[in-house]
Amino acid sequence: MASAPSAQLLEPLDVPPWTRTPGAPILTHPYGLPSSFESHVVRRAARQWPMPGAASSLTPLADLHGTLTPNGLVYERHHGGVPDIDPDAHRLAVHGLVTEPKLFTMDDLLRLPSESRIHFMECSGNTASEWKGPSGLPLQLTHGLLSCCEWTGVRLSTLLEAVGGSTPAAPGASPRWILAEGADAAAMTRSLPLDAILDRALVVYAQNGERLRPENGYPLRLIVPGYEGNTYVKWLRRLKVVDGPLETREETSKYTGLLPDGRARQFAFEMDAKSVITRPSPGQRLTRHGYYPVVGLAWSGRGTIRGVEVSTDGGINWQSARLEAPVRDRALTRFTFDWTWQGGPATLLSRATDSTGYVQPTREALVAARGLNSYYHYNGIQSWRVGADGSVANA
Amino acid sequence: MASAPSAQLLEPLDVPPWTRTPGAPILTHPYGLPSSFESHVVRRAARQWPMPGAASSLTPLADLHGTLTPNGLVYERHHGGVPDIDPDAHRLAVHGLVTEPKLFTMDDLLRLPSESRIHFMECSGNTASEWKGPSGLPLQLTHGLLSCCEWTGVRLSTLLEAVGGSTPAAPGASPRWILAEGADAAAMTRSLPLDAILDRALVVYAQNGERLRPENGYPLRLIVPGYEGNTYVKWLRRLKVVDGPLETREETSKYTGLLPDGRARQFAFEMDAKSVITRPSPGQRLTRHGYYPVVGLAWSGRGTIRGVEVSTDGGINWQSARLEAPVRDRALTRFTFDWTWQGGPATLLSRATDSTGYVQPTREALVAARGLNSYYHYNGIQSWRVGADGSVANA
């Protein structure tokens, strides 16, 4: 094929208006902001909350790409509003059953060896809207209590070494737990099994490269990769080693799951493997027949994602999706399934399998196991209905 | 050791003012912002620029953590200001020596298979301040034309497949190059060797999970991992396959290096291995004798970082620093060296070695090879002087 004709095609290109006039000066925003054309990409609340400080807002997953969540869009869940903490006045107490209890300043913490890791964070109430069947809500409101960031801080184990270690339990005594408490008006307080989290919990001061945002725990937060978001205690002011769980409000009246037989699942910390298709998703529209990449996110609180299968016929046939490398431990993994939309109706589903072999269940299987009084830890397979007109719905 | 006494120590904890009153409501900022206590962490210009749209601003590296740069702090370098582009009106032409030239809408590009990768971006003018010796400037102004992000978009090779591939060169003809042009008022234009970049160049629409920011190329940008930042053409509107470099303004009068013998280094695309200590760095102060982690960043445009050595005595003795995993290809790598400050003066240096075996040179070696008429591609070993009073200076 001769190259000369095609070389000339499209030329001269149209010169758009923004090429004809100088653009905005440097440092218009010393701290930058998104384009005004992206003003719809914001956190949103799923409902009116009776108290504005005890509420949540959700990450716009359908408009995001890759695996990281920018700090401005990380989901929020507060129980007493967002405190405005002076980092110079903030202290972290590490005490209880330890050799040398200490109060740490932020400067003290910055002088300890640090570590950075990319992990997801998911509220255990995420996707609770779907327990009773398709809610009709769009992705942001069904799955948006989910974010993924690079976290930087000090290992919990390093902090415990800095206080001489926890004092050994007496023979036959209970294993050590650790109480984490926030400096917010709710004094958010959770108990955690110390041995189980010691290898991976971090006390973090930075998120995605910069210091934590106020609504994400500035200046200090605990993260426990793979555990429910509520254990990522924000505005962290206390870590107290204790000899058992303290049965705080947030682990008795809340963050437990009522089972059909009247018992409650308590301390169900780990987030089960889950996946969801982010594009196409409800509110979007397929505009032409032909190739569409079906893209989504998969994650597990117990390790890595081993595979994701996609169905376009409501779950009759399943095929493997491509996982985008690197597949990180306890982090969001992006998957893509190459689909050709023929123009008819379709029902799109995704199903994750994690490195333990656990397979994301159907809603029916979840309900059979846990009944309909549960609220937390819903991880059922999500389906999106594509209409013949290209519309997409949660139906 | 009995646990009872220490268990009681520090209690009751002081209750800070922010625990005594409800915090700010949810969604105070639907798109979140940093704490007011971090208002000093912003981009800054190194000097007054005669034209506000042809200027640069720098990333505050000394205040960052981990390896990613939040979008609000990614460095800027513009030649005609920041255009405000309507993504629905934006088009990318892929033409020249290709089989089926095409205009792509943003929607077209979003329907192609995508990929996400973490890579650094560095202006070739970064650290030019140090060619003639220590400038006295702080880290933000010496090394801040450097950022690292997760980029999401379409492989250049995928785009070329979508236009049927480039037409084969005639026997004996020159290898193919590709011209990238921006839609800004400067119509920023660079030529790139096609075969050399085809395996790694991406046409990206998202950065750190969200769409590109206006000052970083919204809605579309080329990235060529490892190449000088100027080739990451922003506001990308044209990719034209050609049979040789077009010798544009930005690769003749600029972005070349004048050598002592009067010749110019042209098309020195790859950023050489480099490292710098970010903490402690000028303007900071060591407040107490004892342990300090010396932390910094290392990177190479030719692959991964194999090692970083640190000297605390001005380069007489060198010891290996710890590299933080994962060490990514053409991305920032964080290093830490465990140092005990005895209280006297010290001179801190870092020296990177990359996966090709290349070792970051001294300033003297760079000047001997390239003279003092060069401006771009300065990657000399940087030294920070610690005074007996704990002050840190670029001296």
Residue B365's φ and ψ, nearest 5 degrees, are: -65, -40
User: What pLDDT does residue A3 have?
Assistant: 41
User: What pLDDT does residue A167 have?
Assistant: 83
More confident residue, B278 or B199: B278
Compute the nearest-CA separation of A134 from chain B (Å). Answer: 26
Give A43-52 contacts, CB < 8 A, sequence gap 24+: A43/A73, A43/A75, A43/A76, A43/A144, A43/B27, A43/B30, A43/B31, A43/B32, A44/A140, A44/A141, A44/A144, A44/B27, A44/B30, A45/B26, A45/B27, A46/A129, A46/A137, A46/A141, A49/B26, A52/A81, A52/B25, A52/B26
pLDDT at B7 over 70: no
Chain-centroid distance of CA B40 in Å reads: 20
Compute the nearest-CA separation of A66 from chain B (Å). Answer: 5
CA distance B261 to B237: 38
Interface contact flag, B235 A18, Cβ < 8 Å: yes
Span A85-102, average pLDDT: 97
Compute the nearest-CA separation of B262 from chain A (Å). Answer: 34
User: What pLDDT does residue B2 have?
Assistant: 38
Query: Mean of the per-residue pLDDT values for chain A?
Result: 95
- SS3 of chain B: the string is CCCHHHHHCCCCCCCCHHHHCCCECCCCCCCCCCCHHHCCCCCECCCCCCCCCCEEEECCHHHCCCCCCCHHHCCEEECCCECCCCCCCCCEEEEECECCCEEECHHHHHCCCCEEEEEEEECCCCCHHHCCCCCCCCHHHHHCCEEEEEEEEEEHHHHHHHCCCECCCCCCCCCCEEEEEECCCCCCEEEEEHHHHCCCCEEEEEECCEECCHHHCCCCEEECCCECHHHCCCCEEEEEEECCCCCCHHHCCCCCEECCCCCEECCCCECCCEEEEEECCECEECCCCEEEEEEEEEECCCCCEEEEEEECECCCCCEECEECCCCCCCCCEEEEEEEEECCCCEEEEEEEEECCCCECCCHHHHHHHHCCCCCCCCCCCCEEEECCCCEEECC
Beta-carbon neighbour count of residue B199 at 10 Å?
A: 10
Interface contact flag, A31 B16, Cβ < 8 Å: no
Give me the interface pTM, i.e. the ipTM.
0.96
User: What pLDDT does residue B168 have?
Assistant: 79
Interface contact flag, B33 A34, Cβ < 8 Å: no
Per the CB < 8 A criterion, the answer to whether A333 and A299 are in contact is yes
Nearest CA in chain A to B32: A72
Q: What is the pLDDT of residues A12-44, one digit of tens each?
A: 999 999 999 999 999 999 999 999 999 999 999
Interface contact flag, A13 B66, Cβ < 8 Å: no
User: What pLDDT does residue A5 have?
Assistant: 44
The label of the residue with tokens 């982090």 reads: A331
CB pairs under 8 A between A and B: 371
Span A124-148, average pLDDT: 97
pLDDT at A8 over 60: no
Nearest CA in chain B to A107: B287
> A21 contacts in B (CB within 8 Å)?
185
> B28 contacts in A (CB within 8 Å)?
82, 215
Per the CB < 8 A criterion, the answer to whether A394 and A137 are in contact is yes
Interface contact flag, B32 A71, Cβ < 8 Å: yes
User: Mutation test of the interface with chain B: which of A1, A14, A15, A37, choosing the one with the most B Cβ atoms within 10 A?
Assistant: A37
pLDDT bracket for residue B9 (50, 70, 90): low
Per the CB < 8 A criterion, the answer to whether B26 and B109 are in contact is no
For a pLDDT cut of 70, what percent of chain A falls above it? 98
What proportions of chain A, in percent to the nearest 5, are helix, strand and coil? 15, 35, 50
Span B367-379, average pLDDT: 95
Per the CB < 8 A criterion, the answer to whether A95 and A157 are in contact is no
Interface contact flag, B83 A23, Cβ < 8 Å: yes
Q: What is the pLDDT of residues A217-242, one digit of tens each?
A: 999 999 999 999 999 999 999 999 99
The partner residue sitting opposite A37, judged by closest CB among B37, B87, B100, is B87
Per the CB < 8 A criterion, the answer to whether A322 and B113 are in contact is no
User: Mutation test of the interface with chain B: which of A13, A15, A18, choosing the one with the most B Cβ atoms within 10 A?
Assistant: A18
For a pLDDT cut of 90, what percent of chain A falls above it? 91
The partner residue sitting opposite A26, judged by closest CB among B52, B209, B210, is B52
Interface contact flag, B18 A235, Cβ < 8 Å: yes
The partner residue sitting opposite B99, judged by closest CB among A1, A76, A216, is A1
User: What pLDDT does residue A1 have?
Assistant: 35
pLDDT bracket for residue A11 (50, 70, 90): confident
Interface contact flag, B67 A209, Cβ < 8 Å: yes
CB within 8 Å of B122: residues ≥ 6 apart: B145, B146, B147, B228, B229, B271, B274, B299, B301
Domains of chain A (ranges plus CATH)? 92-265 (3.90.420.10), 274-393 (2.60.40.650)
> B73 contacts in A (CB within 8 Å)?
31-32, 209-210
Q: What is the pLDDT of residues A310-367, one digit of tens each?
A: 999 999 999 999 999 999 999 999 999 999 999 999 999 999 999 999 999 999 999 9
> A219 contacts in B (CB within 8 Å)?
35, 37
CA distance A66 to B150: 7
Q: Residue type at B200?
A: R
CA distance B171 to B215: 42
pLDDT bracket for residue A2 (50, 70, 90): very low
Q: Measured between alpha carbons, how far is residue A6 from residues B90, B236, B282 in Å?
A: 22, 20, 55
Per the CB < 8 A criterion, the answer to whether A18 and B89 are in contact is no
Span A212-219, average pLDDT: 98
Interface contact flag, A70 B74, Cβ < 8 Å: no
Nearest CA in chain B to A12: B93
Interface contact flag, A45 B67, Cβ < 8 Å: no
The partner residue sitting opposite A3, judged by closest CB among B30, B167, B187, is B167
The partner residue sitting opposite A101, judged by closest CB among B10, B81, B183, is B10
Interface contact flag, A67 B98, Cβ < 8 Å: no
pLDDT bracket for residue A9 (50, 70, 90): low
Compute the nearest-CA separation of A364 from chain B (Å). Answer: 33
Query: Mean of the per-residue pLDDT values for chain B?
Result: 95
CB within 8 Å of A169: residues ≥ 6 apart: A97, A175, A176, A243
> A212 contacts in B (CB within 8 Å)?
35
Interface contact flag, A24 B84, Cβ < 8 Å: yes
Interface contact flag, B19 A185, Cβ < 8 Å: yes
Span B236-248, average pLDDT: 96
Structure tokens at B132: 């003639």
> A115 contacts in B (CB within 8 Å)?
324
Nearest CA in chain A to B15: A183
The partner residue sitting opposite B31, judged by closest CB among A27, A42, A295, is A42
Interface contact flag, B93 A13, Cβ < 8 Å: yes
Q: Tell which residue, A280, A277, A296, has the closest CA to residue A345.
A: A280
The partner residue sitting opposite A66, judged by closest CB among B90, B152, B336, is B152
pLDDT bracket for residue B8 (50, 70, 90): low
B272: exposed, middle or buried (C-beta count within 10 Å: 0-12, 13-18, 19+)?
Answer: buried
Q: Residue type at A363?
A: R
Compute the nearest-CA separation of B315 from chain A (Å). Answer: 24
User: What pLDDT does residue B11 have?
Assistant: 87
> A50 contacts in B (CB within 8 Å)?
none
The label of the residue with tokens 């771009």 reads: B376
Interface contact flag, A43 B63, Cβ < 8 Å: no
